[in-house]
Amino acid sequence: MASTHRAPIEEHPDLADLRARHDRAAATPRAQMVEALALLTGLYLAASPWIAGFSGFTTLAVTNLICGITYMLLLGGLGNSYERTHSMAWAAAAIGIWTCLAPWVVAGDVAHTRSITSNLITGVVATLLALAAASAARDRDTSYGPGTRQPRRARAR
């Protein structure tokens, strides 16, 4: 019985094309801007109890600190290993939604004007940035036609 030699999956042409597409997407100014803004948003979320002045609400302060650090870790790696981390943007979007809801959900009486305003604005910005990061992975390469690897201009009509 003859054995066939199979190449490892890492050498598959479709996987190589996918990695190249992700590398191009991560190198765009849009992706770099989203990553930078996401890092700043996560940093603000982590420090917001002390910046906005609601650090006395321990449960919300700890929640924001943990969520901010997690948000930075989830979206901070987009530039280095985009093809592996772009799906984490959906988890970052969930953190943004949680940030909006946290003043009313965490234990204690923490729903005051400062905490609500800070968390709502930060949560909305975090969610929008995460959705922008997730949508960047879905952007299609328009230079190729559907079902073909040839550029549109080079295809015979």
Q: How many Cβ atoms sit within 10 Å of the Cβ of residue 44?
A: 19
- Say what the pLDDT of residue 66 is: 96
Q: What's the CA gap between 73 and 42, in Å, rounded?
A: 9
Contact between 119 and 96 under an 8 Å Cβ cutoff? The reply is no
The Cα–Cα gap between 90 and 71 comes to 11
Sequence-distant (6+) residues with CB within 8 A of 93 are 126, 127, 130, 131, 134
The whole-number pLDDT of residue 27 equals: 64
As beta bridge partners, residue 144 has 151
Write out the chain's pLDDT in tens, 157 residues. Answer: 566 666 666 666 666 665 666 555 556 788 788 889 999 999 999 999 999 988 888 999 999 999 999 999 888 765 555 555 567 888 899 999 999 999 999 988 888 899 999 999 999 999 999 998 888 766 544 444 445 454 444 444 4
Check residue 141 and give its pLDDT: 43
| pLDDT value for 40 | 95
